Structure 1
Amino acid sequence: MHPNSAFRPQQDELPALLVREIGFAAIFAATPDGPRVAHTPVLMSEDNATLRFHLARGNALTRHLDGTTALAVVQGPDAYVSAGWYAATDQVPTWNYVAVEMEGIARKLNDDALLDLLDALSAHHEARIGATPPWTRDKMNPALFGRMTGAITGFEMRIAAWRPTIKLSQNKSADERERVAAGLDATGHGALARLMRHLGGDREQP
């Protein structure tokens, strides 16, 4: 989390919206073997209170995660910002990025809740890609599907703290932000440039 308050989102709903839109997170936790991280698709509850995900049973984090405080990090577009893009002198390079951190206690899901999670995940993403008809697990051999789900463990993390960072040059003037956005466009980072233009706002610092 960046310490500059200029990079805190002003819209309360924005962090959860970004989590839903990106849909993929790194899950960090301390284990007896040291800190570990796993990467997984995530599903946010409608009330933005919980995050559900699943991990392979063989993952180094899985056997230690139940009842443990975890940190989930969802990252959006990011890119280097050249100091040469500014009109002002005596500037330094920086990095613009979007990241949402969520902290909470992770709890293991039972088998029925894991199936609910898998069904909800596939339904959500099949709808996003416009699949017609959408894929559902009834297209699979039940025994094979059962063996595959037996190799994963589902978790639900109740979110106790949100720490979002939306670093989009909000500490610069509108003209300088547009120069940076143009530089990002020119270097193949159009998604980040679009976020700057839509979310950066006019919050120039004294």
Structure 2
Amino acid sequence: MRQNPSFAFTDVAELRRLIDRNPWVTLVSATPEGLTASHYAVLLDEERDDLTIVGHVGRPDDAIHGLGERELLVVVQGPHGYISPNWYGDGPAVPTWNFVSAHLSGVPEILSAEENLAVLDRLVARFESRMPDPRMMWERPNDADFVTKLERGTVGFRLTPTKVVAKRKLSQNRPDDVVETIIGELSGDGPFRNPALAAEMRRSQDARAAARAGDAG
């Protein structure tokens, strides 16, 4: 991903927030047969405060990706959406796409069976807990044999990225009034309504306003 200083995204706490809120990622690796991509959910490593993630792949994706042997690229995609030139005012303008994304690269570490089970348990709990009547991984009708067979069909990994390229393109290069117009359009009921992107732009706009106020003080 080509970086632009105006849209560079380097704050670790904000990157952790991006990963936590957008756990469905794309795994990309270069194999002897060419590029391969897979899609899985990941979690931040709860034992770390950096950008280390944990996850799993189903067999034989571990062999296809050369998991643990080759560099893995993890693409995290946050809110994104179309921005109409109509929202910029009367001057010359073209459409664009606003987005938040991060690329994490490194050679992952393969987890032990026990570590993998713990990650699978966390993953189920993370999402199933939102159900009105949650069914956690170890609860009946699942039994120990079933869960063990489930684990054996997967390979867990931990990735501490050695390279991070992240970009937050949220119209930061536009005047405040234009940004407010875009947020309003994305929050409205038009054809490109996108509350998630509007909320991300509001967060960015408020942070920039606070930073400017701090500089002025």
TM-score range, shorter chain: 0.7 to 0.9
Counterpart in the other structure of 2:8? 8
Counterpart in the other structure of 1:108? 110
Q: How many residue pairs end up in the alignment?
A: 203
Structure 1 pair 12–79 and aligned structure 2 pair: CA distance change class (3 A): same
* 1:198 and 2:203 are equivalent in the alignment: yes
What amino acid maps onto 2:42 in structure 1? Answer: V
Say if 1:40 and 1:55, in contact at 8 Å, map to a contact too.
yes
Q: How far apart, in 2, do the equivalents of 1:157 and 1:9 lie?
A: 20
What amino acid maps onto 1:164 in structure 2? Answer: A
- Structure 2 alignment gaps of length 5 or more: 212-217
TM-score (norm 2): 0.83
> What's the C-alpha RMSD, in Å, of the aligned pairs?
2.3
Q: How far apart, in 2, do the equivalents of 1:47 and 1:131 lie?
A: 31
- Structure 1 alignment gaps of length 5 or more: none
Q: How far apart, in 2, do the equivalents of 1:6 and 1:131 lie?
A: 43
Q: How far apart, in 2, do the equivalents of 1:113 and 1:179 lie?
A: 48
Structure 1 pair 130–100 and aligned structure 2 pair: CA distance change class (3 A): same
What amino acid maps onto 2:83 in structure 1? Answer: V
Shift of 1:133: 5.7
Counterpart in the other structure of 1:17? 17
Shift of 1:107: 2.1
TM-score (norm 1): 0.88
Structure 1 pair 34–147 and aligned structure 2 pair: CA distance change class (3 A): same
Q: How far apart, in 2, do the equivalents of 1:49 and 1:99 lie?
A: 14
Shift of 1:134: 6.0
Q: How far apart, in 2, do the equivalents of 1:63 and 1:97 lie?
A: 27
Counterpart in the other structure of 2:214? none
Q: How far apart, in 2, do the equivalents of 1:10 and 1:93 lie?
A: 26
Identical residues among aligned pairs (%): 28
1:4-49 residue CA offsets vs partner (Å, 9 max, x unmatched) = 2121236441011110121221111111111111111101123224
Higher strand share: 1
